[in-house]
Amino acid sequence: MHSNTVSPVAERPLTLRTATAADLRAVLSLLGEAADWLNAMGVRQWPAGGFPAERITPLIEAGDMYLLEGREGVVATLALDGNADPEFWGAQDVPGSALYVHKLSVARGRSGLGLGQALLDWAGLRVLATGRRWLRLDCSKDNARLQDYYRGQRFSHLRTVDLPHRASGALFQRAGGLRGGDFGAVPPFVDRRGPAAERHEVVAGGDRSPERRHEVPVIGRGSSMVEHV
């Protein structure tokens, strides 16, 4: 776990955009790199060698897979949708009250720069933009270090669902918005998702009034990144 210190960024800002079919290979490569690293550490969160294309293609086709790009190409991934895993989230959780994080991964060469934190903050803002309340995720039930990381990002551990056929099962959530509630903060990337962004920014009931729009600041350029796991 790295310290939460701020480091200046000398290069041009990173770009956030929605993944397309042409990005499939790059996404699989980054997720495969992360999966291999996790398995080498003895963490069975993701399958060794990464995910098959048929697991990732539906996320891309639905417009739910997002990429961070730098000079070297794709440096981080995040899937965000309203699809609650029925094996983990039940009626008592009001599944429709949340957006769910999947496939959060940062290139090893970019680790320790706060990209994970920045993407989670961005996802928290999308929660508010859709009129929902919670940002949720599930992670490895055996990875105490990863669970501590999410606690450090202001997530609360709700419970652990221990299913023999699932490596994941530790359920976390936090309220929508930024982790510190600072709505003036700006993530260290340029948001260029394009038209696909509208689907995630329609407030529940279709209310796009100015009174509601003020809840979500425009994502623009940032000058620093914060260290993370």
Mean pLDDT along residues 2-20: 62
Mean pLDDT estimate for the chain: 79
Hey, what's the torsion of the CAs at 195, 111, 43, 150, to 10 degrees? -70
3-class SS letters over 87-135: CCCCHHHCHHHEEEEEEEEECHHHCCCCHHHHHHHHHHHHHHHCCCCEE
Q: Which residue did the predictor score with more confidence, 3 or 179?
A: 179
CA angle 90, 55, 82 (to 5 degrees): 35
pLDDT score, position 196: 42
Q: Which of 91, 65, 95, 69 is nearest to 82 (CA)?
A: 95
Query: Amino acid identity, residue 114?
Result: G
Q: How confident is the model at residue 98 (pLDDT cuts 50, 70, 90)?
A: very high
Mean pLDDT along residues 144-164: 95
pLDDT score, position 12: 55
Cα–Cα distance, 94 to 96 (Å, whole number): 6
Residue-wise pLDDT for 61-96, tens only, equals 999 999 999 888 899 999 999 999 999 999 999 999
Residue 38 tokens read as 């996790």
* Cα–chain center distance at 85: 16
3-class SS letters over 145-179: HHHHHHHHCCCEEEEECCCCCCCEEEEEEEECCCC
Residue-wise pLDDT for 156-210, tens only, equals 999 999 999 999 999 999 999 987 544 445 556 777 765 445 444 433 333 333 3
Q: Which residue did the predictor score with more confidence, 2 or 46?
A: 46
Residues 76/68, Cβ–Cβ less than 8 Å: yes
Q: Which domains are present in the chain?
A: 12-199 (3.40.630.30)
CB-based burial, 26-45: b 16+ in 10 Å, e otherwise: ebbebbbbbbeebbeeebbb
